[in-house]
Amino acid sequence: MRKKYSVILESWGNIDYRQDPNAPVYGVPNKIIQVDTLEEASQKVREYIEEYELKAGNCIGGYVFEGTKQIASISYNGKIWEEGSEYYHVY
């Protein structure tokens, strides 16, 4: 059965460490995963961050889509920001 949401997980270089902010962190794959709930999306974002030992300067969190429409962003700390909320981040 198809999952309800797609989540984009990405990293990028941190200019504070002379890394390229336009390129993924070396050895960290960008991913698109499928989840059923926003809570599961938040959990998967935190797992990605922890697995690759990313810091806040290397990863904003995740972007959640339902079909082609972005419906939420997830902060580095796992907080879910739905469209229209204060810290909603557009992909």
Q: What is the pLDDT of residues 59-73, one digit of tens each?
A: 878 999 999 999 999
In this prediction the pTM is: 0.89
3-state secondary structure of 40: helix
What average pLDDT does the segment 40-56 reach?
Answer: 96
- What is d(CA 83, CA 76) in angstroms, rounded to the nearest whole number? 17
- What is d(CA 66, CA 60) in angstroms, rounded to the nearest whole number? 19
Quote the pLDDT of residue 61. Answer: 85
Whether the per-residue pLDDT at 88 is higher than 90: the answer is no
What average pLDDT does the segment 25-51 reach?
Answer: 96
Average pLDDT, the chain: 93
Q: Is 44 left (phi over 0), alpha (psi -120 to 50) or beta?
A: alpha
